[in-house]
């Protein structure tokens, strides 16, 4: 018994949805009254209001947001454009955005640019056509200009950038203090007694990698160490690339005693290469990465890394959008929110003995 629990009753093919007009007819009042009852307007008798709400529940009334949005000229849809959604970082940021947004009654439409400006342009068009209330975007790797975002502003749609932004443009943005985080990580390595700290740098046209590199340089300077160009490697931040860079670093006449990478995959590649050569981590070479990916706690030794506060970033981005909406008309120009990263120190950088 109890074999088939909640099977659909056979007798219901898509019955036409019930509208406000239906409620009005049924109750013998005007649509205006229905609208007011449903939207909690003040000019409405408590009795009628209750009656409306009751009937709405009974008939399973489902408001049509499209119609409302069309009429009001503003939807409760929020557009989000990310390079891709796989991988911890963007998934977490989107998680943060969605959570904050839905609390405020917004639904989020997600678009992937696949690291391609052309697609990003299409995404913008799509979102504008969907009449979104705002757009949150982290630009693709090869986005070099702002033309397609001009259109967004022309339509009067609030625009917020997060994480990856275009340098030199004054826009609303939420970013991580990448420079500070990199500085912190590098200082930590220096404090462990390392003196030849190498850096795996990402593509420098992206603000995030440029800033991480700068933070690395800052730390060296504060320790009075002159930067050595041969210790700064161009790296595309993949596992393979990290290993290749590490191999190259080991070829140097005077190889590094520590490596700070602008990303975690690359530092893992470096770790694997070191282990394959029998070089001890952290005793011979100490390591630190950036992003605090899950893999940092799985690697052996566990990897020191800078956490990016992904979820906070999502929340902050939404809040900034909301501020823009609420400040409608109030002419305030640009807002930047800067989040403070947090260094997670793990075994890969902790030298047990003295410096």
Partner DNA sequence: TTGTAAGCGTTATCAG
Partner DNA sequence: CTGATAACGCTTACAA
Nearer to a second copy, 155 or 195 (CB): 155
Site residues for a second copy, 93-112, by CB under 8 A, read 94-95, 98-99, 102, 107-112
Rounded CA-CA distance 35/41 in Å is: 8
- List the structure tokens of 345: 């120190």
- List the structure tokens of 305: 């890394």
Which of 54, 67, 118, 125 touches DNA (CB under 7 A)?
67
Strand partners, 307: 291, 342
- Applying CB under 8 A, does 308 fall inside the site for a second copy? no
Q: Which does 72 bind (CB under 5 to 8 A by kind): a second copy, DNA, none?
A: DNA
Peptide bond into 58 cis (omega under 30): no
Which of 25, 54, 58, 64 touches DNA (CB under 7 A)?
64
Burial of 350 by CB count in 10 Å (0-12 exposed, 13-18 middle, 19+ buried)? middle
- For 252, list phi and psi in degrees, rounded to 5: -60, 145
Which of 46, 156, 353, 354 touches a second copy (CB under 8 A)?
156
Which of 44, 108, 175, 200 touches DNA (CB under 7 A)?
44
Q: Which does 75 bind (CB under 5 to 8 A by kind): a second copy, DNA, none?
A: a second copy
The H or E element that residue 290 is part of is strand 286-291
Site string for DNA, 14-33 (x = CB under 7 A): ---x-xxx------xxxxxx
How far, in Å, are 38, 177, 198, 242 from residue 235 at the CA level?
Answer: 57, 21, 12, 7
Rounded CA-CA distance 85/187 in Å is: 32
Rounded CA-CA distance 311/315 in Å is: 6
Taking alpha carbons only, the member of 29, 120, 39 closest to residue 72 is 39
Min dist. Cβ of residue 52 to DNA (A): 9
Q: Which does 248 bind (CB under 5 to 8 A by kind): a second copy, DNA, none?
A: none
Task: List contacts with a second copy (CB under 8 A).
Answer: 3-8, 12-15, 17, 60, 62-67, 69-70, 75, 77, 84-88, 91-92, 94-95, 98-99, 102, 107-112, 125-131, 145-147, 150-151, 153-156, 166, 168-170, 268, 294-295, 298-300
Task: List contacts with DNA (CB under 7 A).
Answer: 17, 19-21, 28-33, 35-36, 38-39, 42-49, 61-64, 67-68, 70-73
């Amino acid at each position: 018994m109890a074999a088939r629990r909640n099977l659909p009753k056979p007798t219901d093919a898509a019955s036409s949805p019930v509208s406000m007009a239906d409620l009005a007819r049924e109750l013998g009042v005007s649509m205006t009254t229905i609208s007011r009852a449903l939207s909690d307007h003040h000019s409405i008798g408590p009795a009628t209001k209750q009656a409306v709400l009751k009937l709405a529940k009974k008939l399973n009334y489902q408001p049509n947001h499209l119609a409302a949005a069309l009429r009001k000229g503003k939807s409760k849809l929020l557009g989000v454009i990310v390079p891709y959604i796989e991988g911890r970082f963007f998934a977490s940021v989107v998680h943060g955005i969605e959570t904050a947004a839905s609390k405020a009654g917004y639904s989020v439409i997600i678009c992937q640019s696949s690291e391609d400006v052309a697609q990003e342009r299409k995404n913008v068009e799509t979102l504008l056509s969907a009449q979104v209330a705002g757009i949150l975007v982290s630009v693709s790797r090869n986005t070099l200009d702002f033309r397609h975002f001009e259109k967004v502003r022309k339509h009067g749609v609030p625009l917020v950038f997060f994480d990856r932004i275009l340098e030199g443009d004054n826009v609303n943005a939420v970013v991580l203090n990448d420079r500070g985080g990199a500085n912190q990580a590098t200082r930590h390595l220096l404090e462990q007694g390392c003196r030849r700290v190498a850096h795996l740098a990402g593509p420098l046209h992206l603000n995030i990698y440029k800033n991480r590199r700068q933070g690395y340089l800052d730390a060296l300077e504060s320790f009075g160490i002159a930067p050595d160009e041969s210790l700064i490697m161009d790296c595309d931040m993949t596992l393979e690339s990290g290993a290749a860079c590490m191999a190259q670093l080991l070829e140097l006449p005077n190889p590094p005693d520590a490596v700070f990478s602008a990303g975690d995959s690359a530092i893992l590649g470096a770790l694997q290469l070191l282990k394959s050569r029998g070089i001890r981590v952290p005793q011979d070479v100490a390591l630190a990465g950036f992003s605090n990916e899950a893999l940092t706690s799985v690697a052996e030794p566990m990897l020191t890394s800078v956490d990016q506060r992904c979820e906070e970033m999502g929340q902050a981005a939404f809040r900034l959008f909301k501020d823009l909406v609420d400040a409608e008309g109030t002419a305030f120009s640009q807002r930047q929110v800067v989040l403070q990263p947090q260094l997670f120190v793990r075994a890969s950088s902790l030298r047990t003995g003295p410096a």
